[in-house]
Every structure is written in structure tokens, then in C-alpha cells.
Copies of this chain bind each other. A is one copy, B any other.
Amino acid sequence: MAELTPPDSPHEHLIQSPDPNHPANLICELCRKFYTLGWVTGTGGGTSIRNNDHIFIAPSGVQKELMDPKDMFVMCAQKREYLRKPNFLKPSACTPLFLAAFDRGAGCCIHTHSQWAVLVTLLVERELGPQACFEIEQIEQIKGIPKGRGKSGNLGYYDRLRIPIIENTAHEEDLTDSLEEAMEKYPDAYAILVRRHGIYVWGDNVHKAKTQCESIDYILQLAVEMHKIGLPWTKSRPQRTWFGRFLDGLQRPLIY
């Protein structure tokens, strides 16, 4: 997509580097990996990295596995103004949500359309109600998630992982308010699920955001498979009588 970018821009140096760990190169490499994981199929999802004064953001509506550093938007972290806008490319609608994560100290934010995320939001709504978070405990992979802002170290095996769920909106940018609200209400969360949409995961840096996103997606997939074979996500959940569960089964639409 090189032809879409302004060769004469004064800010080309911002996205030109031979270093594979330069944010512009890293976003392309990460998105190639996310594509194979099914997280950014059909131009869905997005990724943004904050590097000191600069915020690098993948554009909207491009094939994420084919991106080129020339496709990157670059924003000034202070002024929140674009330093570089590729011609003919639209900035990501996720931008305000990425910025909300950066406002809370994140160094990288990843948005995926993982089907496991979508299925879990639907299961939680049906089984626990529209206000409920996704909660799971006593799964080793939980130890891949940090305790929370300002706290050192990661969750323990016996800690409960709690991921808030917000309702989807017609326009992605309109998610910002409820996302920030959830961030305030759950200050320890490093991820927020969006009903019928996907998930936002952020971390202190690229390494943490990517590995936390992998750990959470692993847990979400496991949760769906556990549900399929009737295994509860939390041990504390009060057991119903068998007749109550029998009726629950009937309440659930047998034909989709």
C-alpha cells in the first residue's frame, strides 16, 4: 500500500527504521500473528503502541496481515494531534479507546474480534445477567495477568480473574464513555470485553499487552469449552437442585 502514503511528508522518519522492535515495524509483525490467530480477520481489530511522545496506530479497513509501516498513523501523545496521516487511509475508530488506555499508563493496547470473547459475553449475559462480569478462578493461565494498576506482580492461581463487559454501540468511538466508566469501576482490569463485539486488552508495554491478550484469549476459549461440557467457571457458584438445573436446561432455547 506504499503508493497510498505521502513520500514527501516531513514525518516519514517516524515510521522508517531497520529495527524490528520499532513500533511501526512491531505493529505490522504483531498483526500478522494476530491474523493467524483469527483475532483481526476481515480488517477487524486493531493495535496501538505508545512510545514516549508518539502514539502509533494501525489504520482502519486494511487487511491487517498485509500492513506496512507506511500505513501507520502517528499521533503526538501530548497534543493528541496527528503528526502523520497516510493518504487515502482512515484512522482507526478504536483510537479514542486506545487513548483511554494510554491515559491510564498503558504502553500498548490490542483490540481483537476473537470469537471466544464474543461467545463468553453472550454466555455471561444469559447465565449471570447483563450486569455481570466474566469471572473465573483456579486456572493456571490466570497467573499470566497482572494484579492491577500500582500493584506489583501477577494474579495468583487462587485469585479470581474478573473482566468487565460493556454493551456494544452502533459506532465504535461511542464505546469510549462506557469503557472509561468500566476502567474507573474496575481499576485493576487490564482488559474489557465488549458484548457481541470482542475485547480490548492493554499492558504496560508491547510484551505485556501481547502476552496478556494471549493468556486472556486462552482463558476465554477454555471457558467456552468448559461450558460445552457442563463445567463451572467458579467453585463458589451455588449449586442448584437437579430439578432446578433440569428446568434451566428447558428454559434455554433448544432450537437456536
Contacts and interface: CB of A to CB of B under 8 A. Distances in A.
Contact of A170 (B38, B157, B222, B231): B157
Interface stretch (A67-75, A76-84, A211-219): A211-219
Interface string A3-21: 0000000000000000000
Assembly stoichiometry (copies): 4
A51 interface: no
Interface string A100-116: 00000000000001010
Interface residues of A, number: 65
A248 to B, nearest CB: 5
A194 interface: yes
B231 A242 contact: no
B140 A194 contact: yes
Contacts of A144: 42-44
Contact of A230 (B113, B156, B169, B253): B253
Interface of A: 38, 41-44, 63, 113, 115, 118-119, 122-123, 126-127, 138-141, 144, 156-158, 168-170, 194, 196-198, 207, 210-212, 214-215, 217-218, 221-222, 224-233, 239-240, 242-243, 245-256
